[in-house]
Amino acid sequence: MVAHMRRAFALLPLAAVLVLGSVAASTGVAAADLYYPQPSGPYSVGSTRAGFEDTGRPNLLFGDPNRSIETTVWYPTSATSGPRAKYLSENPFNDAIMAARIAEMWRQPALAAEIANQDTSSFRNAPIRTDLGRLPVVIWQPGLGNTRAMGTSVAEDLASHGYIVIAVDPPDSTIVEYPNGLINGMPVHSMNDADWMNRTLNTRVGDTQKVIGSLSELPLGIGAVADPERIGVTGHSYGGYSAMAAAFEDDRVDAAMAIDGVAAWPGTDTPKPGSVVENGLSIPSMIFGALDGGVGISQESWDQFRQVTQSWFGNIRISGALHHAFTDARMLLRDVCGAIAPDLVFTLTTQYVRAFFDQFLQGSTQPILDPPTQTLRAD
C-alpha cells in the first residue's frame, strides 16, 4: 500500500493546451443535468480503493524514485444496503477540490457542484461475493490527463455481471488523491511532446504490469477471488493505446480492447522489440469507438494493426458519436456525444465491452460480435 508523496496539485490555466482524451478543444461544451446510469447486471456492486508502491520503478514524469499507483476496484457483492461510494473522494474537502479541478478541465465551473459529493451505484467497501468462483479481471485506464473516475459507470456495469474491474490513475492524471490525504496532479501537457508521451506510455504499461502482479494483494478478500489466468485490459483514448501496449509487453494479458483510442502514437515505443502496431497481438483484440468523430489518426493505425495481428480482431464503430461519448463525460456535459443520446451510447458501450470480455475471458460466444467489423448508427 502507498506511503506518499509531496503535494503537487495546482489549478492551472488550460489555454492553448490540447490533450488527447482530456479537455474539450472548444469552449462550446456546456454542463448538463447529471445523468448517472444504473448497472444492468444481476449483481450488486461493491467498490474500494487500493494503492500499490512499485519500489525501484521511478515515476517517469515526476522523477520520484518509486512509482505510487492508485486504483479503484469494483466487484460483485451480496450487499443491498449501506453507504455508497463517492464518485471522487470520501473526504469532503478533497472531493470539492477534485470536482473543481475536473470542472476547470472542461472550462465549466458550474460542473463542480454537479459532481461534488456525488454517490455512485457501488456500496463502499462491501464484501466481495465468494459464491461465484474465481472472477475474471479487467484493468481500465483513462485518456491522457484524465482521472480514473471517468470510467466509473462502465466499470460498475461490468462488475454487475461478475467481473473485477480495476481502474488505474495514470501518471499524467491531473488529479489524484492518495491515502494520506494529499492530492497530486500533473499539469496538462501538449501531446506534441513525443518524449513526454513516450514516458507516459511506458509508465502506464508498467502500472498495468504492477497491478497484474499484485492481484493477490487486493483488499477485502478480492485478491483471493481474482483469477490471474483471465485478465483483460481496456481504456479510453490514450488509455486504449496503453492497454494495447501493455498486452504487447505482457503475456499475462488474455484480451485487449481500446475504446476510441489508437494503436500507435508518433515517437512512442515500449521495451519489447518492435511495437504493437508493427507486430499486432497474438490474443483477441478490439477497437470500439466513433466512426467519424473520434481520434483523427485512429483509423490509419488500426488498418496497419489489422494487417499484422495474429488473432481475432473486432472493429466496431458508431456513426454520429464523438470522442468523449464513451466516458462519463457523456453524463456530465452536453454536446460531447454528438448525434447519439447519452443513454444509448452508454448501452452500446457496456454491451460491447461486456460481450468482448465474455467471449474471450469467459468462453461464452457472443452473437453481437459477429461479424467482427460493424458500423452502428444512432438512428
Does residue 327 lie within any of the structural domains?
yes
Contact 46, 127 (CB under 8 A): yes
Range of the domain at 169: 31-377
Helices (H) and strands (E) counted in the chain, each on its own, are 10, 15
Give, rounded to a whole angstrom, the gap between the first and last alpha carbons of the chain: 48
Tell me the Ramachandran region of residue 170: left when phi exceeds 0, alpha when psi lies from -120 to 50, beta otherwise.
Answer: beta
* Model pLDDT for residues 246-288, shown as the tens digit of each residue: 999 999 999 999 999 988 888 888 888 778 999 999 999 999 9
Does residue 18 lie within any of the structural domains?
no
pLDDT at 33: 52
Does residue 264 lie within any of the structural domains?
yes
Does residue 170 lie within any of the structural domains?
yes
Residue 37, domain CATH:
3.40.50.1820
Q: Of 362, 192, 358, whose CA–CA distance to 267 is shortest?
A: 192
* Model pLDDT for residues 62-117, shown as the tens digit of each residue: 667 888 899 999 999 999 999 999 999 999 999 999 898 888 888 888 888 888 88
Does residue 16 lie within any of the structural domains?
no
Does residue 26 lie within any of the structural domains?
no
Cell 448525434 locates to 339
Does residue 20 lie within any of the structural domains?
no
* Model pLDDT for residues 212-253, shown as the tens digit of each residue: 999 999 999 999 999 999 999 999 999 999 999 999 999 999
> How many separate domains does the chain show?
1
Does residue 136 lie within any of the structural domains?
yes
